[in-house]
Structure 1
């Protein structure tokens, strides 16, 4: 299989700054701890997939102690997200990676369904398509794979809405690109998503640790 670069778009799990929609259910500390667990899980799966280079594209500060202490981070490149909205940050990361000559898969940290096996499956699809997509139940996507770059996939998209995957499909089709798509996956953004997570991975949510 041709090597594929995996770029994890990640945010340091600081209480009150991550998973804010889950704070009413988990509290600031609990939401941040879940974000930390999901980030660690995502990195483990990306490394276990064994597809090629893994990059953590992070905010707000790649030199923060968190990234230096994160298990597995020494096996990945840690880079800084650029300024701008999510689309601008993803576009910059994707363009830079593609310039290095490898297909790229951009992933977030909100989708426990993105196992190492799933990542390998999508990388295989990407060998035969211009792009690949893993949609999620809320209308967004958990993975966008690319063999080529076009800014329309990132510009003027209403991020964090139910329209993201639909618009992305439309733009891929307008470009005339062949793309593969997985079945719709689960991601964890809203309190009701926690019920699905607890039913499928009951040990994933841990009580908040005391400082």
Structure 2
């Protein structure tokens, strides 16, 4: 089965299940994981944003994945999933992330393309914890908060105990941007988002077990 066939199958599977159900969550989690591992996600505006490109890209990637999970029902099976994801990454999420992370608009990027509609502003003000997420449902958020064996709290970025998975995940899902968390913890955005992604994969079996209780 090709990459496109795998992703299309998972997207259609997710559409067949109701929002917030474990079945949809599993399909979306697998879909996002495959996209991450494929290295096929577009990297727009390369050569620009020197020194901050990776931070912008990491933020844009997280926004894209949240959107794919929340709006998977918008996916048209006549298109390839990567085609849809790359279009959104290039035309919307990378531009939005650059606008939020940079104080000025870099040369070569049309300011008119970066303006947001009132609806987009309203969506940004909505706490991320209320959105459908590939790996973190409300039940999983509760699991992370409880952390009975202190696993989430003791799993942290090297030499940064305060930058632990529990704190980072709860802050991110509460609506804080990677840039805000980065400034608070004094950790680069790309390091935070990469650590977060690895932890989601690492703790996936624990989350699934919690959901099945």
Structure holding more strand per residue = 1
For the aligned pair, the TM-score class normalised by the smaller chain equals under 0.3
* TM-score normalised to structure 1 length: 0.23
* TM-score normalised to structure 2 length: 0.23
Structure with the greater alpha carbon radius of gyration = 2
